[in-house]
Amino acid sequence: MTSHSRGKREDCDGPERVTAPGAAARTGHGQVTGGAEAAVLLDVRRSDEWRAGHAPGAVHLPLEALAAGAGLPAEAGVRPVVVICRSGCRSQQAVELLRARGVEAVDVVGGMRAWADVGLPVVGPAGGNGCVA
């Protein structure tokens, strides 16, 4: 199943997208290569989705708050940003907003679903195993 068949929108393609393994590499999940500073993984899902499960070390800022002009978490102000949501459409919207602010950002094709599908870790509220909601 492609990310297109999972999403509700068909216009979720863009030139600045990375796969879940690519996002993991950029953010330091697994092996970090080249000594480059790791990017920040910014999760733009709703708070209830975040609480159900998110990538370890990710920072949270719901898309609605970002669209309303909320400030970025401190980590995202000085490092490249990899944006993730549930399936990849909200994160693409967030990338557009971030770039308008001058932030270097890409988004994850397939979002947290793809992240979990390739076996990358998802943690819940108490640090144990989480789920993608």
Helices (H), the chain: 3-6, 20-27, 47-52, 63-67, 89-100, 111-117
The pLDDT of residue 6 is 34
Percent of the chain with pLDDT over 90: 71
**Could you list the active site residues?**
85
pLDDT tens string 33-91: 444 579 999 999 999 999 999 999 999 999 999 999 999 998 887 899 999 999 999 99
Query: Rounded to two decimals, what is the model's pTM?
Result: 0.85
* Amino acid sitting at position 16: E
Delineate the domains of the chain, giving CATH numbers in brackets: 3-117 (3.40.250.10)
Residue 23 scores a pLDDT above 90 = yes
Please name the residues in contact with 120: beta carbons below 8 A apart, sequence gap of 6 or more.
20, 21, 24, 29, 30, 55
